[in-house]
């Protein structure tokens, strides 16, 4: 006896299986106290690491701008539904690079918020930066997650959030 299987554009991933996730880095608005002034041009890139693994670290190309940097660049990462993505915005100088801000995406929380589907989910992340020994907001990083569908029932404590909403590409949450 053969079981019928449905075929989907996206893989239905189990709790520990690795799957490809596309993270599109859209734009950033750095507001770091480390920036010299608002008129200077900034050359920057974004670095994304999945689960702290150097083998799963991807970088965007460098972009130059003033108040807002634009990438619209896709990065492909191998992740599980429990993966954690660490994002860092770096400023490039002639002899060194300087961290302007960082943010973290907990994929499990994001999956729960979006009914187990990451299909063009746009996130506006608050970048954290250090200033004189304390952590402060260092601007904003906008990304889009795509390509991961998970059966929430197969995950540990896999209850979907009761008020979960889907994010469409035209509606971006900003804080």
pLDDT tens per residue, range 9-55: 444 555 678 999 999 999 999 886 566 555 567 899 999 999 999 99
Question: Residue 23 forms beta bridges with which residues?
Answer: 75, 145
Dihedrals phi, psi of 150, to nearest 5 degrees: -130, 140
With 0-12 CB in 10 A as exposed, 13-18 as middle and 19+ as buried, what is 167?
Answer: buried
Which of 1, 22, 29 minimizes the C-alpha distance to 174?
29
pLDDT tens per residue, range 114-133: 999 999 999 999 999 888 88
- Comparison of pLDDT for 164 and 47, the residue scoring more: 47
Asked whether the whole model's pTM tops 0.75, one would answer: yes
Q: Which domains does the chain have, with CATH numbers?
A: 12-154 (2.60.40.150)
């Amino acid at each position: 006896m053969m079981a019928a299987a449905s075929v989907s554009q996206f893989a239905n991933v189990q709790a520990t299986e690795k799957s490809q996730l596309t993270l599109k880095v859209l734009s950033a608005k750095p507001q770091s106290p480390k920036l010299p002034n608002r008129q200077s041009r900034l050359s920057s890139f974004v670095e994304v690491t999945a689960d702290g693994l150097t083998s799963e670290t991807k970088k965007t190309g460098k972009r130059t701008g003033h108040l807002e940097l634009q990438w619209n660049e896709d990065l492909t990462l191998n992740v599980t539904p429990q993966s954690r993505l660490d994002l860092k915005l770096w400023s490039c100088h002639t002899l060194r690079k300087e961290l302007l801000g960082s943010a973290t995406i907990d994929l499990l929380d994001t999956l729960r918020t979006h009914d187990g589907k990451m299909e063009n989910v746009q996130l506006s992340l608050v970048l954290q930066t250090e200033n004189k020994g304390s952590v402060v907001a260092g601007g904003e990083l906008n990304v889009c997650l795509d390509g991961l569908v998970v059966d929430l029932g197969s995950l540990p404590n896999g209850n979907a959030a009761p008020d979960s909403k889907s994010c469409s590409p035209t509606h971006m949450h900003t804080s």
